[in-house]
Structure 1
Amino acid sequence: MKISLTLNTATAQVQLRRWGGEFRQQVKTAVTRTLQQQAKLVQDDVRAHVASRLDVKRSVFLKGFKARVYDRDPARLPALLVKSAIPWAGIHQSGGVVASSKGKGLLIPLHGRIGRKRFKVMVQELMRGGNAFFVKNKRGQIILMAENIREHDKVLSGPKRRYRKAAGVSRLKRGADVPIAVLVPRVQLRSRIDVTGAVMDTVPKLAIAIEKSLLGLGR
Structure 2
Amino acid sequence: MKISIRIDSVAAQAHLRRWGGEFREQVRKAVARAIATEATDIKQEVREHVAGKMAVAKKSFLKGFTAKVLAKDTKRLPALYVGSRIPWSGVHETGGQIGGRMLIPLHGRVGRKRFKAQVAELMRGGNAYFVKNAKGNIVLMAENIQEHERPLAGFKRRYRKAEGVKRIKRGADVPIAVLVPRVVMKRRLDVRRLVAGRVPRLAAQIESGLRRLA
TM-score (norm 2): 0.91
- Which residue in the other structure is 1:20 paired with? 19
Between stretches 42-51 and 19-28, larger displacement belongs to: 19-28
Tell me the distance in 2 between the aligned counterparts of 1:15 and 1:212. Answer: 14
> Deviation of residue 74 (structure 1)?
2.5
* RMSD, aligned α-carbons: 2.2
Tell me the distance in 2 between the aligned counterparts of 1:34 and 1:165. Answer: 50
- Which residue in the other structure is 1:190 paired with? 186
Match of 1:207 among 189, 203, 210: 203
Q: Is the 8 A contact 2:7 2:203 kept in 1?
A: no
Q: Is the 8 A contact 2:7 2:207 kept in 1?
A: no
Tell me the distance in 1 between the aligned counterparts of 2:40 and 2:3. Answer: 14
Point out the structure with the larger helix share.
2
> Deviation of residue 4 (structure 1)?
4.2
Q: Is the 8 A contact 2:34 2:206 kept in 1?
A: yes
Look up the SS of the partner of 2:151 in the other structure.
coil
Which amino acid is 1:127 matched to?
A: M
> Deviation of residue 152 (structure 1)?
1.0
1:34 aligns with 2:30: no
Could you tell me which runs of 5 or more consecutive residues in structure 2 were left unpaired when the two chains were aligned: none
Aligned runs of 1:129-168 on 2, under 5 Å? 129-168=125-164
Aligned runs of 1:1-219 on 2, under 5 Å? 3-5=1-3, 7=5, 18-21=17-20, 22-100=22-100, 105-218=101-214
Tell me the distance in 2 between the aligned counterparts of 1:163 and 1:20. Answer: 67
Tell me the distance in 1 between the aligned counterparts of 2:149 and 2:15. Answer: 70
Q: Deviations over 1:69-114 (max 9, x none)?
A: 11233232111111111111011011011122xxxx1111111111
TM-score (norm 1): 0.89
Q: Is the 8 A contact 1:108 1:181 kept in 2?
A: yes
> Deviation of residue 38 (structure 1)?
2.1
Q: Is the 8 A contact 1:4 1:81 kept in 2?
A: no
> Deviation of residue 40 (structure 1)?
1.6
Look up the SS of the partner of 1:27 in the other structure.
helix
> Deviation of residue 127 (structure 1)?
0.7
Going from structure 1 to structure 2, the CA distance change for 1:214 and 1:70 (only over 3 Å counts) comes to: same
Give the count of matched residue pairs.
211
Could you tell me which runs of 5 or more consecutive residues in structure 1 were left unpaired when the two chains were aligned: none
